[in-house]
Amino acid sequence: MTGAGAGSAAVRVQGLWKRFGQQVAVAGIDLELPAGKFIGLVGPNGAGKTTTLSMVTGLLRPDQGTVEVVGHDVWRDPVAVKARIGVLPEGLRLFERLSGRELLSYSGRLRGLPGAEVDRRATQLLDVLDLAGAQHKLVVDYSTGMRKKIGLATALLHNPEVLFLDEPFEGVDPVSAQTIRGVLERYTASGATVVFSSHVMELVESLCDWVAVMAAGRIRAQGTLAEVRGEAPTLQRAFLELVGAQGRDTASDLDWLGGGPR
């Protein structure tokens, strides 16, 4: 593994902004994500997680600010960055008319890997992700969980230094989630970095050793799980306090629901 070693930053974000018309999606955030960690970017719906990950991975140009991934500027040196990262984006687009095996072969060759090595890695990834039986099926016929898994295999095939995953467990059943989790744990144990977004706190708490909390386009807290949790009993409670959502009385807003007139 080259580039960022343990102790250095895998991702460094400074003064990052993104507006869509009047809507400020990301409001001048600074982030320093340590290398070799399992990192969770958490926040409520609309917090700006996807917009942030898109800018960090070179998919969306920021209005302002800089992003460095393993020491390379994402917008000045995009090829160097893209060679070192794997991305599982939101609303993953795949080549639907290829089989899972063909998709991996194609992706591996696009990445410049030798054919024999692509085949070797593809066989192992298909096996570990429980997709060996479906490898000759067209991707269009894959279920949601299978799509996430083949997307993950594609993102891992070139052995990236940093892996970015936008809601990797959404729509995934517990068995597939466990499989994905096992692969990610093995990957970070080798010194690589995983950055994933989620709004499922229990998941983040059980997987991550480092967390950044985002709300309304700003970073509300970042640090180790223990630092962000602070005195709160769970990350969920700390999160609700950080995003200012605790104590909202939904019951009185919905007094007609259930027992009232129909």
Binding site for ligand ATP (CB under 6 A): 20, 23, 25, 43, 45-51, 199
CA angle 5, 89, 40 (to 5 degrees): 50
- C-alpha R_g of the chain: 20
- The least distance separating ligand ATP from the CB of residue 163, rounded to whole angstroms, comes to 18
Q: Which residue has the tokens 């096992």?
A: 182
Q: Are 44 and 67 in contact (CB under 8 A)?
A: no
CB nearer to ligand ATP: pick between 51 and 179: 51
Q: Which neighbouring-strand residues pair with 177?
A: none
CB nearer to ligand ATP: pick between 218 and 237: 218
| Sign, CA torsion 199/205/208/213 | positive
- The least distance separating ligand ATP from the CB of residue 7, rounded to whole angstroms, comes to 29
- Counting every residue, how long is the chain? 262
- The least distance separating ligand ATP from the CB of residue 248, rounded to whole angstroms, comes to 18
CB nearer to ligand ATP: pick between 53 and 192: 53
CB nearer to ligand ATP: pick between 100 and 217: 217
Burial 12-37 (b: 16+ CB within 10 A, else e): bbeebbbeeeeebbbebbebebbbbb
CB nearer to ligand ATP: pick between 199 and 218: 199
Q: How far apart are CA 183 and CA 185, in angstroms?
A: 6
- The least distance separating ligand ATP from the CB of residue 116, rounded to whole angstroms, comes to 39
Q: Are 60 and 54 in contact (CB under 8 A)?
A: yes
Per DSSP, the chain holds a count of helices (H) and strands (E) of 10, 10
Q: Which residue has the tokens 């969980």?
A: 145
Q: Are 68 and 12 in contact (CB under 8 A)?
A: yes
- The least distance separating ligand ATP from the CB of residue 222, rounded to whole angstroms, comes to 15
- The least distance separating ligand ATP from the CB of residue 136, rounded to whole angstroms, comes to 33
- The least distance separating ligand ATP from the CB of residue 1, rounded to whole angstroms, comes to 29
CB nearer to ligand ATP: pick between 51 and 222: 51
Q: Are 134 and 142 in contact (CB under 8 A)?
A: yes
CB nearer to ligand ATP: pick between 90 and 102: 90
Tokens of 217: 């386009």
